[in-house]
Copies of this chain bind each other. A is one copy, B any other.
């Protein structure tokens, strides 16, 4: 048994059975091992950014890693933007990066790059495993690290460690249970909730799942604290019957306004808020001066335990009343963000997954989803655009019985548009709605925010209408049926049709 075979068998025994792949020559022995030891679902991406973004979507839905199969340093770099997003979403991912054999590295063949240094910049765990007897054991450590992080673990596999005999199957290493909060932190949080100051209970990561969110809602209901999350949302369980939660806006001025007057923030699995970018003469954080922040649980800790303890301490027994679904009437007219929110609210199938890379157009949509059918909501975390199509792909692979509805800005979609092909190949149940304004609207906004006019260079760099992308042709090119909607009535009809049709569809919504 060679190193690659021991690796495949150990991964399968550990329940790691999905591999998003864009392999090259140095991964041939791993592919060959997959052929001899079946059980791994191999999903091909035409570009590595599709592979890693799909692994992010999969990991968010499964709470366990998929394997990414990447080719040497440059293959890794093609996937790094979406690994950055996975890192910021605390998603378990196991990268398997083939590399040059140890024997040839010193000769620096053309494809050689510093794969280890590159992987280290975004991984919670990185190892170059060059002993066939250790390859599987190293991979099991990587799996554990990715789940304990949770985060990106990177196993770099020189081809000779893959092809050399002496591989040894290694047992699954269960991740340690997440630790609870300290008693001191719980007591302090409870005291803060009782001291009469204006308080935000700030949740993120797995504190946004239905159960902890429900308890947080009871605490908020009892104490008057506001329930908020950060502007980037890894996975939120939302919809009818679930606890709604406010989002700190992305826009600097709006985020400062949202936290104006807030004297205390109690963090449950959430980092301290920070603005996305610095701007001249504006603060770097949205909190007002003197706002006290208390970290009760880090992202890797047990938020349910923390919230339970706080709820007990403050006597929070009753759920907050849930908002009523608005009566939207018959939706029609020219598209607006508000109408798009209403359309999604009305058309979303039970137990769907919303993937949101709507960028500027979709910033205020979240409240529309509070009263939609219960669903999971996945959002762009690290801010590196080009995640939406791949993440929708990975979420659909993870949850074949659920419909994925992807709200996708057009400019961002074009970074990793190849992901549509994987959706077609795998027959995935994804409805992609391209929000087509044919420009980088976010940059036009940012340009205005820095006080500059849009001159000829800015026009040249922000407008995408020369030529306008023909989305129906692009979708056809990748094997996906597509339509275009310019009004809300048509959109509703096309979404309902797409959601009812097995496999992927794409709708270009002119906004």
* A interface residues (Cβ-Cβ under 8 A, vs B): 21, 23-26, 28-29, 31-32, 34-36, 38, 40, 42, 44, 46-47, 49, 73-75, 77-78, 80-81, 84-85, 88, 100-101, 103-104, 107-111, 113-114, 117-118, 121-122, 159-160, 163, 232, 272, 274-278, 280, 284-285, 381-384, 386, 411, 414-415, 417-418, 421, 424-425, 442-443, 446-447, 449-450, 452-458, 460-461, 464, 466-479
Contacts and interface: CB of A to CB of B under 8 A. Distances in A.
A275 B107 CA distance: 9
Contacts of A424: 467
B108 A117 contact: no
Given A35-B458, A467-B424, A77 B73 contact: no
Given A477-B471, A477-B474, A81 B88 contact: no
Contacts of A77: 77-78, 80-81, 84
A40 B457 contact: yes
| Among all A-B residue pairs, the 9 with the closest Cβ atoms | A35-B455, A467-B479, A474-B477, A74-B384, A101-B278, A34-B457, A77-B80, A32-B452, A473-B477
A111 to B, nearest CB: 4
A255 to B, nearest CB: 12
Contact of A285 (B107, B118, B421, B477): B107
B117 A277 contact: no
Nearest to A32: B452
How many copies of this chain? 2
Nearest to A104: B278
B78 A84 contact: no
A461 B280 contact: no
Nearest to A108: B274
A103 B386 CA distance: 27
Nearest to A424: B467
Contact of A277 (B26, B80, B84, B456): B26
Given A31-B457, A477-B469, A109 B276 contact: yes
7 contacts: A31-B447, A32-B458, A74-B81, A75-B384, A109-B277, A421-B467, A473-B473
Nearest to A274: B107
Contact of A111 (B32, B111, B384, B453): B384
A424 B466 CA distance: 8
A287 to B, nearest CB: 11
A382 B72 CA distance: 12
A301 to B, nearest CB: 19
Contacts of A103: 278, 284
Contacts of A75: 81, 384
Contacts of A40: 457
A104 B284 contact: yes
Contacts of A460: 42, 44
A383 to B, nearest CB: 4
A232 B457 contact: no
A324 B67 CA distance: 54
A8 B38 CA distance: 57
